[in-house]
Amino acid sequence: MPAAVGRTLALAGLLAAVALPGAARPVADATGRTVELPDRIERVFPAGPPAALIVYMIAPDKMLGWTRAIGPAERPFLPARYADLPEIGRLTGRGNTVNLEVVVGLKPDLILDVGSTSPTYVSLAAQVQDQTHVPTLLIGGRLADAAQTFRQTGAILGAAEAAEALARYAEDTLGEVKRRTDPVPAAERPKVYFARGPRGLETAIRGSINVEALDCVGATNVAAESLGAGGIVNVSLEQVLAWQPDAIVTVDRQFYAGVFDDPEWRGVKAVRDHRVYLSPGLPFAWIDAPPSANRLIGLRWLGKVLYPARFPEDLRAETNRFYTLFYHQAPSPTQLDALLADTPR
């Protein structure tokens, strides 16, 4: 029997074995489809890392697993019962690692994707539902719309009360950051280069979900100014030298560890001025990776490093509040020290 035929028959067998709960609720999502959902959602397969975080934040007991296993450095920041959830792979984004037979075999009530609503992701959500016969929803995940994302997802999962607390936090944070940064004249807004990867030469340009935190604090993305709209791109050091950013923000510890001693990077103003900032990264990065609601605490951190006079308060209390509410566990004093070790006082 050809391998492809065998896989098709195996998937068909799994589909026959999965009795979908009675469809009771029509829900419209970002694809424009109306999807019939079971009355109760108890088993959720997150299609990608942003969805995994949203489900974990709202209703962690409904999540079947993580798209990537929680690593040793991340584990202490999460309750053990959730850190122990298995790695189930991802359906969307870079490096999708799971096939549909595995998805169906886990018997989810819902496959949920959160993030970009570009035509590629819209098409993928519809395709996954057609092939698995499992209700599949795509919810917009823009940082500026975080409150709406929480409320919509909470209603879908039957966890509206928990989602409302997160939504209100999102509204308060986005509103406060906007209130503080909006009055900054355009000429005084910092020119920022967002450095990804161990060499710092991967970045995100206008329209990329990965760089929304910079947009929310009113910073000028130097790569977007030169390269326009798009997503993740590779650039050269010569381009960064031409842009001469006032500050560099990175999520890559390897790049951060070596940039100040690299003679080629010393020609960049931000490096000479020691204005290179490493985003805290445990259990999830505060600026990107994944581009989900983990970035809400990152907005206050970005405000502090880019506009210190407008964000003078210490971040310990706010970090403790965010981790308790969103990650379901307060950080210890030692963990707080480690998270904020590279943040200017």
Q: What is the DSSP string of 203-242?
A: EE-BT-GGGHHHHHTT-EEHHHHHH-B-SEEE--HHHHHH
Pairwise CA distance, residues 57 & 151, whole Å: 12
**DSSP assignment, residue 248?**
E
Q: What is the domain range of residue 145?
A: 3-173
Q: Based on the domain organization, do 8 and 148 belong to the same domain?
A: yes
Q: How many CB atoms lie within 10 A of CB 235?
A: 19
Q: What is the CATH number of the domain that holds 276?
A: 3.40.50.1980
Q: Based on the domain organization, do 39 and 121 belong to the same domain?
A: yes
Q: Based on the domain organization, do 228 and 133 belong to the same domain?
A: no
Q: What is the pLDDT of residue 11?
A: 43
Residue 80, token pair as written in the block: 């053990």
Q: What is the pLDDT of residue 344?
A: 83
Residue 295 lies in a domain: yes
User: Containing H/E element for 166?
Assistant: helix 160-181
AA letter at 252: D
Contact present, 255 and 203 (Cβ < 8 Å): no
Distances in Å between the alpha carbon of 214 and those of 174, 207, 318?
A: 12, 11, 19
Residue 337, token pair as written in the block: 């020290």
Residue 178 lies in a domain: no
Residue 344 lies in a domain: no
Q: What are the tens digits of pLDDT across the range 217-233? A: 999 999 999 998 999 99
- Give the rounded percent of residues in the chain with a pLDDT score beyond 90: 88
Mean pLDDT of the chain: 92
Q: Based on the domain organization, do 279 and 316 belong to the same domain?
A: yes
Mean pLDDT calculated for residue range 80-103: 89
Q: What are the tens digits of pLDDT across the range 136-191? A: 999 999 999 999 999 999 999 999 999 999 999 999 999 999 999 999 999 999 99
Q: What is the pLDDT of residue 342?
A: 86
Contact present, 192 and 246 (Cβ < 8 Å): yes
Nearest by Cα to 171 from 142, 139, 144: 144
Q: Based on the domain organization, do 157 and 194 belong to the same domain?
A: no
Q: Based on the domain organization, do 165 and 35 belong to the same domain?
A: yes
Q: Based on the domain organization, do 22 and 70 belong to the same domain?
A: yes
pLDDT at 45 over 80: yes
Residue 216 lies in a domain: yes
The strand ranges marked E within 253-311 are 276-278
Q: What is the pLDDT of residue 3?
A: 39
Nearest by Cα to 7 from 101, 81, 134, 139: 101
Q: Based on the domain organization, do 196 and 246 belong to the same domain?
A: yes
Mean pLDDT calculated for residue range 305-318: 96
Contact present, 78 and 283 (Cβ < 8 Å): yes
Contact present, 344 and 311 (Cβ < 8 Å): no
**What is the reported pTM?**
0.91
pLDDT interval class at 79 (50, 70, 90): very high
Contact present, 128 and 136 (Cβ < 8 Å): yes
Q: Based on the domain organization, do 104 and 124 belong to the same domain?
A: yes
Contact present, 79 and 329 (Cβ < 8 Å): yes
Q: Which of 173, 201, 226 is a domain's end point?
A: 173
Q: Based on the domain organization, do 239 and 200 belong to the same domain?
A: yes
pLDDT at 234 over 90: yes
The total domain count for the chain is 2
Residue 270 lies in a domain: yes
Q: Which of 140, 173, 206 is a domain's end point?
A: 173
pLDDT interval class at 99 (50, 70, 90): confident
Mean pLDDT calculated for residue range 87-93: 90
Pairwise CA distance, residues 114 & 344, whole Å: 33
Q: Based on the domain organization, do 155 and 58 belong to the same domain?
A: yes
Contact present, 157 and 139 (Cβ < 8 Å): no
Q: Based on the domain organization, do 11 and 160 belong to the same domain?
A: yes
The pairing of beta strand 23-28 with beta strand 34-38: antiparallel
Q: Which of 144, 173, 202 is a domain's end point?
A: 173
